[in-house]
């Protein structure tokens, strides 16, 4: 495994788990194959106001494709994604909206990397929170 994949794995370890309000997203395990990408088992946990777990979903998700690993913005995108998701969870007007989602629905890093103007973690965070089609839909 080369330094690029190591750096991505480290950024994922630094980002997960993501917690915000009554929502938690955890990275259970990862598998790196430089030809196929970095796959992870991602767990989405939604609790009620009393702390009782209402929903748990686990799913195998392609987190980083080989072409995305070569993008110099990948680490910033992962960091910004984690910050935005935590903020969306904390500010969500109805945390049960998350119950309708699967873990892959929340992993928007590949879509963000298509936006060439985004460079820094804050750019990725704002792109996620400022758009109703992304995490902005959770905010009141």
pLDDT, residue 124, reads 97
Give tens-digit pLDDT for 24-64: 999 999 999 999 999 999 999 999 888 899 999 999 999 99
Phi, psi of 51 (to 5 degrees): 95, 0
Mean pLDDT over all residues of the chain? 94
Structural domain total, the chain: 1
pTM score, two decimals? Answer: 0.95
Stretches where the chain sits below pLDDT 50 are none
Domain that holds residue 120: 3-138
């Amino acid at each position: 495994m080369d330094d690029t994949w190591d750096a991505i794995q480290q950024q994922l370890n630094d980002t997960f788990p993501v917690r915000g309000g009554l929502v938690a997203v955890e990275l259970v395990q990862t598998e790196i194959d430089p030809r196929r990408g970095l796959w992870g088992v991602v767990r989405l946990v939604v609790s009620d106001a009393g702390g009782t777990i209402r929903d748990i979903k686990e799913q195998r998700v392609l987190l980083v494709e080989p072409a995305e690993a070569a993008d110099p913005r990948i680490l910033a995108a992962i960091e910004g994604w984690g910050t935005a998701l935590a903020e969306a969870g904390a500010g969500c007007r109805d945390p049960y909206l998350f119950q309708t989602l699967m873990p892959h629905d929340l992993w928007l890093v590949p879509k963000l990397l298509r936006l060439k103007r985004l460079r820094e973690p804050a750019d990725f965070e704002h792109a996620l929170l400022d758009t109703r089609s992304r995490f902005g839909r959770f905010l009141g």
